[in-house]
Chains A and B, each alone.
Chain A
Amino acid sequence: MSTERAGPDRLRPLAVASAAYALPVFFIVLPLATFLVYSFFSVDHGEMKFTLTLVNYIRFFADPVFLPVFWRTVALCFAVALITVLIGYPVAYFLTQLRGRQRYLVLMLLLVPLLMSYVIKIYSIRAILGGNGFLNRALIGLGIIDKPLTFFVFNLNAVLLTLTLLLIPYAVLPLFLALERVPAALKQASADLGASAAQTFWRVTFPLSLPGVASALSFVFVLAIGDFLTPQMVGGQSGFTFGRIIYSQFGTAYNWPFGAALSVILAVVVIVAMSLGSRFDGRKRRG
């Protein structure tokens, strides 16, 4: 029995290892590598040229169209991240003050909308903000305005507002985890030494929660900048973002290499944002 098992037993680790590596390499590493190489190809008169060139990257930096949209998108997504953190912080703090079942229930209620259809939420928010939407009708009904506002529909404000509404729970989670990690002993010590509740918060709790703020900011920023559905659906003509430009390169513009180059730039931004977020987080957590 034991001699019979020795053969397969020696082979098994090798089989498991190759099974473990083969598929991720084939379906993750190879596609990403192809995509990176593609960004150095070009299109000339509707025809792909398979020689390596920097022309796509040069076009991004030289053409006056792309950089402004790029920076505007970065600023927009940072604004979304900042607003969600400002709103999420009190919610996360409130959560840490709740006990047992109460805390569990409120946390659950925050998480449920995350699994609800993203497209549907965009659609509903548009229905509320739209010219003929609930918000405008309610404001007219209350006599606050007499003509529907167009401030919130088919422009960058609409994108900002919709993304903020969609991403608040993603900000609350890291903030909650960071606030929960603040040792109760430190807060008690602060109170024992005569600090008021506000002093304890600003001198002890808040500084110790900053890593959570950093990871919440980077988390929301990354989710916002990768999204092209929201700007496509609520952005309209003036709500053009970087994600939409990338998407259009694979559709109407049909310039895949340029689209790939723009996505590589997007990936670089995402990597920078994530490493900024996690560096801050990692250093503090180990301490």
Chain B
Amino acid sequence: MMENRRALWPLGLITALVFVLLYGPILVPIVSSLFLVQHGLVDWSQPTFSAYVALATNEDILSALTTTLVVGLSAVVLSVAMGTVLALYYHSGTGRARAVLQFVIFLPFLMPPIITGLSLLIFFREIEFERSLITVVIGHTVFVLALVYRTILTRLQSLSPSLIEASYDLGASGWQTFIRILLPNLSSSIIGGAILAFALSFDETMITLLLTGTQSTLPVRLWAMMRLGFAPDINALVAVILAFTTLLCLAAVRFLIPKDLLKVGAEV
């Protein structure tokens, strides 16, 4: 493929341009969060942390942040528990019913979030279940379940069956095999899936918007604030959230992607 090398630099140029397009919009609020904004104009003369100070004392945002964390952690715990059970169940046999079950789990992830959100909204109204943080948690769990399930199942399928057979042969019960053999082998995929699920939940807006009662999560709060206009502490908040999600992303990658991807890289 040597002859492709010459054609490579315009492609690299396009890629570089795409990175400008992807990261440019992210950098703008971060940079402006460090300077004073007055009457829509940025004072570039000296950097300041005043926006961050304003943010740290904004009760509204702090409570939205707490809500987001509570929802995210609950959704992670529930989706990991369900995802593990579902992955083990799917893996333990074959049949049409299992395939249908898997399809059902994937539905909320494949369908537009507005459909998942609306169907739950209507359902909760029909069974007369008040909109609250519980409905938001259920919505998030249903939404991230497919992802957690998929990451765990992928690892499960790559495990050698002889590992489990050996455990049974040595006299371990099903539960012992799960705790001592399966769980340690699945742990990195469970942690990776949990981080990804948390990141998705942290950012979920459309489902939350439809299912929330009086309390709102950070993205919903941000959405409401941004529709009204621009405020300096939004920039600071944006910078903090971006830093946090980047860390989450890197952590998820550390647990999930490196092995497979570096393998691909080495094969080439």
Contacts and interface: CB of A to CB of B under 8 A. Distances in A.
Nearest to A162: B25
A233 B28 CA distance: 18
Interface stretch (A12-20, A55-63, A143-151): A12-20
Q: What secondary structure prevails in chain B residues at the interface with A?
A: helix
Contact of B119 (A35, A106, A126): A35
B114 A197 contact: no
Nearest to A187: B1
B123 A35 contact: yes
Interface in B85-123: 85-86, 88-90, 92, 101, 104-105, 107-108, 110-115, 118-123
Interface stretch (A64-72, A111-119, A207-215): A111-119
B242 A94 contact: no
Contacts of B104: 24-25, 28-29
Nearest to A256: B122
Contacts of B12: 94
A227 B122 contact: no
Given A30-B123, A116-B26, A123-B222, A226 B245 contact: no
Contact of B245 (A91, A117, A229): A117
A115 B203 contact: yes
Contacts of A229: 205-206, 223
B142 interface: yes
B210 interface: yes
B114 A94 contact: no
B118 A250 contact: yes
Q: What secondary structure prevails in chain A residues at the interface with B?
A: helix
Interface string B1-33: 101100110111011001101111110110000
A15 B101 CA distance: 16
Contacts of A78: none
B161 interface: no
Interface string B255-268: 00000011011101
A5 B174 CA distance: 10
Interface in B125-156: 126, 138, 141-142, 145
B22 A110 contact: yes
B27 to A, nearest CB: 8
B248 interface: yes
B186 interface: no
B89 A27 contact: no
A274 B29 contact: no
Nearest to B7: A197
B190 interface: no
Nearest to B196: A115
A42 interface: no
Contacts of B226: 119, 122-123, 126, 233
Given A87-B18, A101-B265, A111-B249, A32 B119 contact: yes
- Indicate the size class of the contact surface on chain A: 35 or more
B25 A5 contact: no
Contacts of A95: 15
B111 A169 contact: no
A27 B112 CA distance: 16
A109 interface: yes
Contacts of B11: 90-91, 93-94, 97
Contacts of B40: 132
A32 B85 CA distance: 23
A120 B238 contact: yes
A270 B112 contact: yes
Contact of B118 (A5, A35, A115, A119): A35
Report which residue of B111, B112, B241, B266 has the largest number of chain A beta carbons within 10 angstroms of its beta carbon.
B112
A5 B177 CA distance: 15
A169 B22 CA distance: 9
Contacts of B18: 87-88, 91, 110, 168, 172
Contact of A20 (B7, B85, B118, B206): B85
A118 B15 contact: no
B85 A117 contact: no
Interface of B: 1, 3-4, 7-8, 10-12, 14-15, 18-19, 21-26, 28-29, 40, 82, 85-86, 88-90, 92, 101, 104-105, 107-108, 110-115, 118-123, 126, 138, 141-142, 145, 173-174, 199, 202-203, 205-206, 210, 219, 222-223, 226-227, 230, 234, 238, 241-242, 245-246, 248-250, 252-253, 261-262, 264-266, 268
Given A5-B173, A20-B89, 20 more contacts: A20-B90, A25-B104, A27-B138, A30-B123, A35-B118, A35-B123, A103-B265, A110-B18, A115-B199, A117-B202, A117-B238, A118-B203, A124-B26, A132-B40, A172-B18, A191-B1, A223-B112, A225-B112, A228-B206, A243-B112
